[in-house]
């Protein structure tokens, strides 16, 4: 029987951050990180768009993101650890209706330090060579597309390399004595009575019991504390033991196009928004199509999160759907940005979000002696450092976690019973 102080199941970005901060705060503890794949961060973390921003109306969202981003910037700027961070900014394109809904909210967010700039539609047409008045097009009207009135440019925003952040957490975890075990599939959680009586099928309902270990293809491993950070697979491990992960998996897709056309190359290399000399990450108002510039690849990563009609379902190896790009994304994108006319993806992939369907913010809670860290709903890479610190504080039974930048965060705010997460109003 192999015993540890802590076993963490799942070496995605939340599991890695949790493992690192647990070991950093508890250097004498024997901590094991397990994953079914052959290396860390190879499932949905590797498929992430890896974007970041601090522009949220919810104080919880803002704090989790801003503190994490500050830590990542510290790693790159001060410690010289290259995460490939590119502060391109986010550009939210606003229809007249959407602008009415969020204009007061934007002003209040600016007063609390969430920096943004407003671009008029004339500026957007000139700088991006885009079409802001699409309602004159019959096809656009039939599709329910609206004109663009303004652009909200978020300054502290951009993208980075998810694999670089994965490598940082894993290497640091191992450097300070953490252990990893890959190619190790956890088939089930082991429940044992606190006091074994030798009865068949223990524990019985009247016995005190806890989750004491994991059964894997490499044998059984036991620990004083088990942490489930398995993302989209969390429910498949927790449902059989009667614990609700409060998350559901849903497929998300990314399509990559090359900027081989002169017009598309000019769009990619747009000047005036940022020091990177590139167009910002741009989000259309409806549907929420996202174009992310990738200068190193001379192209764009394009995505769109569909909701109604996209089933909640765990897929072991999801794949991107060509028709989704052709008939859902492309038909809209080319109307606002004619530069994409005739352009098709040369590469695509799909991953899965572990979605908290209530408020979209991660869960960090403990039940029956087991810790659960999941449900980041697509923002796990962006908020990973803060979430890992909060998980470490929960393990230590501390009321508050100290986030990077000396920010205190109430641990129970991400729990279940005393959860305190205000609705995110700047939903885009």
Would you place residue 390 in the very low, low, confident or very high pLDDT band (cuts 50, 70, 90)?
A: very high
Give all strands (DSSP E) within 146-288, no chain letters: 150-154, 157-159, 179-181, 186-193, 209-216, 219-228, 248-258, 281-283
Q: Which of 95-104, 196-205, 242-251 has the lowest mean pLDDT?
A: 196-205
Assigned CATH for 90-155+249-355: 3.30.9.10
**336/368: higher pLDDT:** 336
Superfamily, domain 2-49+163-247+358-414: FAD/NAD(P)-binding domain (3.50.50.60)
For strands 150-154 and 347-355, give the pairing.
Answer: unpaired
For 207-252, write each residue's pLDDT tens digit.
Answer: 889 999 999 999 999 999 999 999 999 999 999 999 999 999 999 9
Q: Domain residue spans in the chain?
A: 2-49+163-247+358-414, 90-155+249-355
pLDDT at 35 over 90: yes
State how far the Cα of 317 lies from the Cα of 332, in Å rounded to an integer: 28
In the numeric block, the tokens 């015993």 are attached to 3
Would you place residue 384 in the very low, low, confident or very high pLDDT band (cuts 50, 70, 90)?
A: very high
Do the two domains 2-49+163-247+358-414 and 90-155+249-355 of this chain adopt the same fold? no
State how far the Cα of 385 lies from the Cα of 2, in Å rounded to an integer: 29
State how far the Cα of 113 lies from the Cα of 370, in Å rounded to an integer: 38
Would you place residue 428 in the very low, low, confident or very high pLDDT band (cuts 50, 70, 90)?
A: low
State how far the Cα of 428 lies from the Cα of 424, in Å rounded to an integer: 10
State how far the Cα of 163 lies from the Cα of 40, in Å rounded to an integer: 9
- Local structure of 250: helix, strand or coil: strand
Tokens describing residue 105: 């909210």
Would you place residue 1 in the very low, low, confident or very high pLDDT band (cuts 50, 70, 90)?
A: low
Cα pseudo-dihedral 19, 22, 24, 28, rounded to 10? -110
For 9-19, write each residue's pLDDT tens digit.
Answer: 999 999 999 99
Q: From the centroid of its chain, how far is CA 17?
A: 13
Cα pseudo-dihedral 373, 217, 2, 172, rounded to 10? -50
Tokens describing residue 83: 């995460």
DSSP 69: H
């Amino acid at each position: 029987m192999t015993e540890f102080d802590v076993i963490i199941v799942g070496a995605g970005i939340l599991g890695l951050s949790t493992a690192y901060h647990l070991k950093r705060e508890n250097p004498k503890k024997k901590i094991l990180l397990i994953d079914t794949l052959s290396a860390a961060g190879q499932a949905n973390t590797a498929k992430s768009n890896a974007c970041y921003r601090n522009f949220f109306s919810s104080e919880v969202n803002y704090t989790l993101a801003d503190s994490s981003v500050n830590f990542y910037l510290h790693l790159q700027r001060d410690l010289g650890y290259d995460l490939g961070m590119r502060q391109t900014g986010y550009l939210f394109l606003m229809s007249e209706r959407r602008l009415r809904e969020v204009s007061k909210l934007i002003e209040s967010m600016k007063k609390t330090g969430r920096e943004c700039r407003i671009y008029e539609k004339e500026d957007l047409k000139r700088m991006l060579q885009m079409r802001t008045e699409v309602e004159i097009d019959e096809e656009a009207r039939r599709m329910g597309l609206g004109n663009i009135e303004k652009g909200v440019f978020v300054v502290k925003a951009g993208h980075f390399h998810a694999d670089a952040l994965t490598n940082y957490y894993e290497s640091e975890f191992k450097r300070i004595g953490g252990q990893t075990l890959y190619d190790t599939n956890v088939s089930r959680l082991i429940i044992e009575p606190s006091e074994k009586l030798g009865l068949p099928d223990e524990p019985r309902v009247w016995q005190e019991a806890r989750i004491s270990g994991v059964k894997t293809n490499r044998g059984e491993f036991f620990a004083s504390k088990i942490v489930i950070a398995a993302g989209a697979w969390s429910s498949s491990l927790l449902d059989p033991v009667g614990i609700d992960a409060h998350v559901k998996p849903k497929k998300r897709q990314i399509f990559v196009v090359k900027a081989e056309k002169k017009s598309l190359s000019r769009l990619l290399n747009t000047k005036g928004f940022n020091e990177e000399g590139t167009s910002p990450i741009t989000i259309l108002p409806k549907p929420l199509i996202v174009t992310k510039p990738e200068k190193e690849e001379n192209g764009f990563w394009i995505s769109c999160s569909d909701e109604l009609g996209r089933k909640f379902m765990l897929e072991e190896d999801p794949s991107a759907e060509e028709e989704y790009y052709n008939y859902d994304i492309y038909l809209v994108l080319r109307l606002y940005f004619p530069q994409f006319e005739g352009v098709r993806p040369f590469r695509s992939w799909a991953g899965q979000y572990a979605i908290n369907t209530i408020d979209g913010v991660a869960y960090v809670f403990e039940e029956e002696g087991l810790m659960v860290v999941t449900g980041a709903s697509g923002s796990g890479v962006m908020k990973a450092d803060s979430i890992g610190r909060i998980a470490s504080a929960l393990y230590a039974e501390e009321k508050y976690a100290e986030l990077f930048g000396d920010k205190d965060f109430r641990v129970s705010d991400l729990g279940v019973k005393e959860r305190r997460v205000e609705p995110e109003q700047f939903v885009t």
